[in-house]
Amino acid sequence: MAEHRSMQRAALLDAARSLLSEGGTEALTFPALAERTGLARSSVYEYFRSRAAVVEELCEVDFPVWAAEVSDAMHRAETSEAKVEAYVRQQLALVGDRRHRAVVAISASELDAGAREKIRAAHGGLVAMIVEALGELGHAEPRLAAMLLQGVVDAAVRRIELGAAEDPTAITDAAVAMALRGVRG
C-alpha cells in the first residue's frame, strides 16, 4: 500500500512539473492535477493540503538536484574563472530541462515562507560556492559580487524562457562574458 501511495505522489509531482513548465504557477491547480493523474480531486487533497504544499515538496525534491548539477560543473572547473563560467553556463543549460523550467516557474511566483526558505537554502549552497571562487579571484566584496552575478544569471534565464529574439547560446555567451569581465573588475 505504501509503495502505491509513493507512486501516486511521484505521479502528482511529475504532473505538477509539467503544469508549471507549460503555464507557470497559475496552471498548477488541484483540478488540473487530478485530470493529469486520473485521480479524483479528493485524492489529490489526501497527498497535498494546498498548492503551496505541492510547490514546497517540488522545491525540496528538485532544487537540490538542480543545485548539485551546478555544483558538479563547478567542481570540474580547474580555475576560479572557470568556476564562475561553469556556474553561469550550467544554470543556463538547465533552462531547457523540464525540472528546471518548473524551478524557474516556482522562483518567479509568489511563494509562502516555507517554500521560499527551501529555495533560499538550496540557492545558499550555490551562492556560497561562487562567493568562494570570487574571493579567490581577489574580489573585495565577494558576497555582493555573487548576488549581482546571480542577477545576471536570472536575467539571462528569463530572456531564454521568454524565447527572446536571440539564440539561447548567444544569451549564454553574453552572460558568461559579462560575468567574467565583471568579476575581474
Q: What percent of the chain has pLDDT over 70?
A: 86
Write the CA distances from 36 to 33, 46, 59, 63, integer angstroms: 5, 16, 20, 23
Task: Give pTM, 2 decimals.
Answer: 0.76
CA dist 48 and 51 (Å) reads 7
Q: Is the confidence at residue 185, as pLDDT, over 60?
A: no
- Tens of pLDDT, residue by residue over 95-148, are 777 666 676 666 666 666 776 777 777 677 778 889 999 999 888 999 999 988
104-108, 154-158, 172-176, 181-185: least confident range: 104-108
Mean pLDDT of the chain: 85
Instruction: Note whether 140 and 131 are within 8 A (CB).
Output: no
